[in-house]
Structure 1
């Protein structure tokens, strides 16, 4: 899932508005067999010309501890990423401050017992740890893979999950939500029940375009618009705009002879972005790369050009919110 460099190199674009400050609020770092995406790889992507001032790392089951209680093993990921953030903060790798914010994993089904895990994360990265993502993406179809955390159906409504979720507010932590489009009403119910907890709505709520959903994009979009409008009525929810170029979304970019241009990305996905910006407002939206997962479909430079084309008719203030300010505020970045 780190992309094919030779294939991606077939489409190159100069960065539009190269001085526009950007916070990339969603990327991963890992070193899996056959798939490596660490500081060097990220900085190679950042070097494609956009002004990436800082980034936020989001959990991906990377570098968990090998030993100790299962509940505490995810703290190893925070330790690993905080080390990379320290490397970046030295300035030796450029001006971008990688992982200025860190979102980790804790199993919120632990209920009140999750406190020890939250405290351990915060102790390992006190200047950077900002929240938890406990992915809930699940679908009944065997053609649609569940999240890497292997959540049960209806995770967000489980009493034990709700008990653990309530602990986030006590520690001033936010919650990143990764789910599929049919689960958006479940997130809305969670947000309404916990107005004190900031929730970040990842990847448009994962509109599925494969398996039983293939060929039904218009039907899915119509219901998605209604569900997202209801979610946006919850003032504690903000939206990440990106992560819609994964294989599960069904656009099939990774199957093409050449990767898409920014114009092609815009033509295929613009409506999802514009509706989100319309119902949430720019001050509650932030563009995200979701790299290297979306790198399976397009290059970093092309993706950010697509975002800039989507926002081309917006005011300077609206652009500042979408590309930088919302992310910096929501993740409380010291940049």
Structure 2
């Protein structure tokens, strides 16, 4: 502990392990500013982050022009940051090597115009679309959602008509859902078996504000749904997002943030369940920064994920932390 009573910042463990951060954001909103310099400081703080995948948050959209093309501004922004990173001036990490943008798939086949504009703007980096699909009867979790979606989005006929435009372009879909929607993701995967679906944050087990007993019940439901979803070979999984309040861990409310040992103990059942369900060949590790900074800093987060997986052999860990993201997002980066 420091003299002020705050924990001493952690040093990165296993600093030689190459990592692709498969999910992060750059944001500039009232009360939340996390742009290139801030993220660069995090990826340079001790872990060997070789490349990153930028995920949309509907930041930096175009202020003018057709509504359908406004989200393309975010891809233009992310591609610009990627070009800065590729210059080598800011270190060896290739920030935004892959880009996932926003498109309103509920526009049906008319979304093709948006997708093609994203691909052009990405400069060879655009890999897929995320349209947040979180749906829940309680309004409470949506206090933490920047752009709340319409309910039951994944089952809407118009959405599926738009979804059908992804596969022919070789684009994937990022599914951001609660555990109560895992069956909907499975149905979507069955309907479009040739399209890669990436399950973000292991499909949040929504246990916010619950008792320990109720949280255990949610965990059981989540694990069952996760294993059933994993039977679809076109679904991949990102392991992370545990810093958000949805899981009910409570670290986001703690005055003193937990160390990596505490996080590893708490997150282990979730991480191990995800790996058991999907196997080491279909999981990717993510920081979900800056959002997960609600519960810990960047170095501590990766320390915790490394500690949870130390029982696996080196080849399996390399898949989880690097190789799977490189393959799934088609990133040309060396390990």
TM-score range, shorter chain: over 0.9
> What TM-score, normalized by structure 1, do the two folds share?
0.95
Q: Which has the higher contact order (CA 8 A, sep 6+)?
A: 1
- Matches of 1:284 and 1:8, distance apart in 2: 41
Q: In 2, are the aligned partners of 1:61 and 1:74 still within 8 Å (CA)?
A: yes
- Count residues in correspondence: 328
Aligned pair partner of 1:223 in 221, 230, 235:
221
TM superposition shift of 1:35: 1.7
Structure 2 counterparts to residues 23-42 of structure 1, below 5 A: 23-42=20-39
TM superposition shift of 1:9: 7.0
2:117 corresponds to? 120
Q: In 2, are the aligned partners of 1:131 and 1:175 still within 8 Å (CA)?
A: yes
Encode CA deviations 1:173-222: one digit per residue, 9 max, x unaligned. Answer: 000010111111111110111110001000111112225x4542100011
Structure 2 counterparts to residues 269-308 of structure 1, below 5 A: 269-308=267-306
Structure 2 counterparts to residues 128-167 of structure 1, below 5 A: 128-145=125-142, 147-167=145-165
- Matches of 2:247 and 2:275, distance apart in 1: 20
Deviates more, 1:245-254 or 1:92-101: 245-254
- Matches of 1:268 and 1:316, distance apart in 2: 23
Q: In 2, are the aligned partners of 1:204 and 1:244 still within 8 Å (CA)?
A: no
Structure 1: unaligned runs, 5 residues or longer: 1-6
Aligned pair partner of 1:328 in 320, 326, 329:
326
- Matches of 1:8 and 1:228, distance apart in 2: 40
Encode CA deviations 1:129-159: one digit per residue, 9 max, x unaligned. Answer: 0000011002111222174332222110111
- Matches of 1:245 and 1:31, distance apart in 2: 20
Q: In 2, are the aligned partners of 1:8 and 1:298 still within 8 Å (CA)?
A: no
Q: In 2, are the aligned partners of 1:11 and 1:260 still within 8 Å (CA)?
A: no
Aligned pair partner of 2:193 in 192, 195, 204:
195
Encode CA deviations 1:20-56: one digit per residue, 9 max, x unaligned. Answer: 1100010000112232111110011112210000000
Structure 2: unaligned runs, 5 residues or longer: none
Q: In 1, are the aligned partners of 2:241 and 2:287 still within 8 Å (CA)?
A: yes
